Amino acid sequence: MDRASFDRIARTLAGAATRRDGFRALIGAAVAVIGAGGGAVVDAAPNGQQKRRAERAGASKKPSAKGKPSAQGPCGNGKRKDNICTSDGDCCTGICNLGAGKKNKDRRGRCRCMKRNKPCTADVNCCNTLTCNQGRCSMHKPGPTPPKPAGKVPTGSGCTQVDTCASELASCTTYTSNAPRGSYCLLPDAATCSAAEQCVGQVCNGGVCGKGLIPTGEACTGGDTCASAGASCVSYGSSNPAGTYCLRANGAACDGAGDCVSQICIDEVCSAVAETCDVCPTCTYTTVQAAIDGVAAGSTIRIDEGFYEEDLIVDKDLRLKACNGAKVFLYNSSDGSRTISRADNGTLVSLTISDISVGAADKYDFGGGIFGWFNLTLNGTTKVADGRIEQAGGCIELGSGNFDVDWDNDIYNDGTVGACTLTIADKAQVTNCTSGWAGGNIWMGCIGGTITMSGDASVTSGAAGDDGGGIWTAGEVSITLADRVLAGGCYAGDDGGAIFASERSTLRMSGTATVLGNRSGDDGGGIATDSYTELDMSGQSVIAENTSNWSGGGFVGGCYGSVIRMSGEATIRDNTAVIAGGGAYLQGAPSPDEGDSLAIILSMKGSAKIHGNATVDESDPDDPYPGGAGVHVSDNVKVELEDQASIYGNETPRVGGGIWSASDVILKGTSSIRDNKARQGGGVYLAGPVPWDPEDVVTPIKLKVASTAKVSGNNPDQCVSTGEASC
């Protein structure tokens, strides 16, 4: 070896030794030079043969601190030549190294491939020419997947399509959107079962698969249980409705012919024998008025199916009903007409209408559908609807007529006719009527009268230009809403979106009776009452989602002596008032002449709740008077919460999130005022009482909380007091 060649070898070896390649790089450099026959050094630099070996092995250079693209990695001609990835979809191998482990932290965010014996799901995951064979990268080609041996799957257990269900009646049924998701061996309806999980319908009744409790009149199978105790799953052949239905036996109560085995429902009882109709084209009477004139007082007039356009005058106690559950519609299309009126003879007539629709047409003054001095009962599926009246009682007006009325002294006909009653029961409806003055649907003018609603009865979609979009009553009327009654979707231009009750009236709500979704242009979006009235809520009754344009989104009480008593699970919720009293506004101070300074204006017991109510006006946030998102209460009275009663989750931009009060607020038991929100007084805002006379001495008011009750979680504060008040 000549001197020049030796010098080149020495320089190359010295350079290689300074790098981090170590001994392997040193020997490699020497071999490369010697192999070149003492000539020029080949690929001894970092970008030479070593780089090519790294590329063949599928390695990736660690990216520089500046984030420059690295050498091409295992993707070959994949999507990202710089080998950078943020998800598996960026890599041709379908694998992006996103792990947090220390082992391959320099390859984090780089595409990678799986080497021999590493796990895989497809050939593309494996490096070079390896293939994915039975879940591992391998040099061997994958063979066919051996079929899964068929199994005998117990009923109710998970299965695949190659399995055989142990029961010959069961099949492998797949659920997707509904529980239980997956595939299971399940039995069809009417098959014998021992548990609900074995059935397609997930119901096993009496050892038979079924759909569960089937409403009366609906189709069923042998494994179903009918919802009504008096009904059973009965099969029909060619007669009656073909198929199998839950039907009641003769003698059982019914709401219509479709409930009965006989397909005959008479007086809400299933009957084996059809009624003989009194009114039809071939009956004794061909018109309803002819029957009214011809029968004795107290009779029932059975009307066959059809439309009857008549102006009916009733002068005796009667019952009008649909014959054999037929569809009957009574109406009067004449201008300024009514459909049913009481004869002007100064007597109080009892009229019951069952399973009949009554059309309420246009009328210039009172009562578009039914008008006069009646003790009126609407039951079954009766419906009175669609009247348009200039004065009052778009659908029904009771207690007026051509009699002397002393408006100043609240005396109707000098009291000689007597108080009338209105009963709305079962599924009866009074709906979609309008009046220019009061009582969009119903105007009750009888002082001391009663309105009773029960079952699934409803008064809905009424509108009045003044008070009482659904119902308006004279003084001293008793209103009862029970069971599942609904008063909803009504509007009053002034007060009482659903109900307006004049002074000294009472309103009782029980069961799940609901006043829902009504509006008023002034006060009382749901209910408005005059002075000395009572609202008594019990059971699960609800006043909800009503709106007023001024005060009392749910309820507003009159100037003197109005009270609310809540018990059970009674609730006033999600109502809105613009100014004050989102849930309730109580002006119930006693008259200065009566002097009862400790009357309870709001009593809440049991689990009664006032929550989710609001006031929304922000025009003068510094005015401390408006407010009270839950309740606004005047002075000279007191508020008491007992048991587990609560006022919570109410909100106002003004003051008094839970309650604004000028009277004592007393919490007993484990009652609470919590999680309310206001600008001031998040829980309670106590405004010092205002004397009736500037010379009167006022008694300071207080918030009194028992040791087991609480005022907590309110924003921004629990209680704020002003004037003659203390928290």
Residue at 128: amino acid letter:
N
**Which pLDDT belongs to residue 493?**
96
pLDDT above 70: residue 32 = no
Q: How far is CA 518 from CA 396, 489, 539, 587, in A?
A: 19, 5, 21, 21
- Please report, as a single letter, which amino acid is at residue 441: N
Reply yes or no on whether the pLDDT at 145 is more than 70.
no
Q: Choose the weakest-confidence range: 286-295, 300-309, 387-396, 423-432.
A: 387-396
- Where do the H-state alpha helices sit in 261-411? 288-294
Flag whether pLDDT at 40 surpasses 60: no
pLDDT score at 179: 53
Q: Average of pLDDT values for 239-266?
A: 83
* Mean per-residue pLDDT over the chain, rounded: 81
**Across 41-69, average pLDDT:** 39
Lowest mean pLDDT among 101-105, 462-466, 561-565: 101-105
Q: What is the model's pLDDT at position 105?
A: 57
Average pLDDT over residues 489-499: 97
The pLDDT assigned to 8 comes to 57
Among 231-240, 439-448, 543-552, 639-648, the minimum mean pLDDT is found in: 231-240
Residue 45: which pLDDT band, with cuts at 50, 70 and 90? very low
pLDDT at 709: 97
**Residue 393: predicted pLDDT:** 92
Question: Can you point out the beta strands (E) in 279-427?
Answer: 299-303, 306-309, 312-314, 318-322, 328-331, 340-342, 349-354, 356-359, 362-363, 370-372, 374-379, 383-385, 388-389, 396-398, 405-406, 411-412, 421-424
Question: What pLDDT score does 123 carry?
Answer: 81
Cis peptide before 716 (omega within 30 of 0): yes
Per-residue model confidence (pLDDT) at position 54: 43
Give the pLDDT score at 571: 97
Average pLDDT over residues 601-608: 96
The total of other beta-carbon atoms located within 10 Å of residue 26's CB is: 17
d(CA 376, CA 350): 6
| Mean pLDDT value across residues 445-460 | 94
What is residue 718's predicted lDDT score, i.e. its pLDDT? 97
Quote the percentage of the chain above a pLDDT of 70: 79
Specify the higher pLDDT residue, 613 or 246.
613
- Confidence bin at 71 (pLDDT 50/70/90): very low
Q: How distant is the alpha carbon of residue 28 from its chain centre?
A: 79
- What is the pTM for the complete model shown? 0.68
Residue 139 CB neighbours (<10 A): 11
Gap between the Cα atoms of 380 and 457, Å rounded: 9
**What mean pLDDT do residues 236-248 have?**
76
Q: Per-residue pLDDT tens for 189-218? A: 878 888 888 988 788 877 888 777 788 888
Sign of the Cα torsion 274, 275, 279, 284 reads positive
The pLDDT of residue 213: 78
What does the pLDDT read at residue 35? 43
Print burial letters for 566-584: b (CB count within 10 Å at least 16), e (below 16): bbbbbbbbbbbbbbbbbbb
Q: Could you read off the pLDDT of 642-686 as tens digits, one per residue?
A: 999 999 999 999 999 999 999 899 999 999 999 999 999 999 999
- Give me the pLDDT at residue 23, please: 42
* Residue 596 confidence class, pLDDT cut points 50, 70, 90: very low
pLDDT of residue 150: 55
Question: 38 pLDDT exceeds 60?
Answer: no
Model confidence at 397: pLDDT above 50: yes
When pLDDT is averaged across residues 61-86 and rounded to a whole number, the result is 47
pLDDT of residue 418: 62
Phi, psi of 257, deg, nearest 5: -60, -35
> Is the pLDDT at 16 greater than 60, yes or no?
no
pLDDT of 100 above 80: no
Which of the two residues, 112 and 297, has the higher pLDDT score? 297
| pLDDT above 50 (res 51) | no
Q: Would you tell me the crossing angle of helices 3-17 and 22-35 to the nearest 10 degrees?
A: 160
Identify which of 231-235, 410-414, 422-426 has the greatest average pLDDT. Answer: 422-426
Alpha carbon distance 654, 663 (integer Å): 19
The β-bridge relationship of strands 411-412 and 405-406 is antiparallel
Q: What is the mean pLDDT of residues 114-141?
A: 77
pLDDT band at 303 (very low <50, low <70, confident <90, very high): very high
101 pLDDT band, cuts 50/70/90, is low
| Model pLDDT, residue 81 | 44
Residues 32, 50: contact at Cβ < 8 Å? no
Summarize the confidence of residues 64-69 as an average pLDDT.
35
**576 pLDDT more than 60:** yes
Q: Is residue 48 scored above 80 in pLDDT? A: no
Structure confidence at residue 125 (pLDDT) = 83
Report the pLDDT value the prediction gives residue 34, as an integer from 0 to 100: 43
**What pLDDT is recorded for position 106?**
57
- Local structure of residue 425 (DSSP, 8 states): -
Q: Which of 367, 292, 293, 280 is nearest to 324 (CA)?
A: 280
Confidence bin at 11 (pLDDT 50/70/90): low
Higher-pLDDT residue of 499 and 95 is: 499
483, 512 contact by CB (below 8 A): yes
Q: 23-27, 276-280, 310-314, 618-622: which range is least confident on average? A: 23-27
pLDDT attached to residue 345: 65
pLDDT band at 70 (very low <50, low <70, confident <90, very high): very low
Residue 62 vs residue 517, higher pLDDT? 517
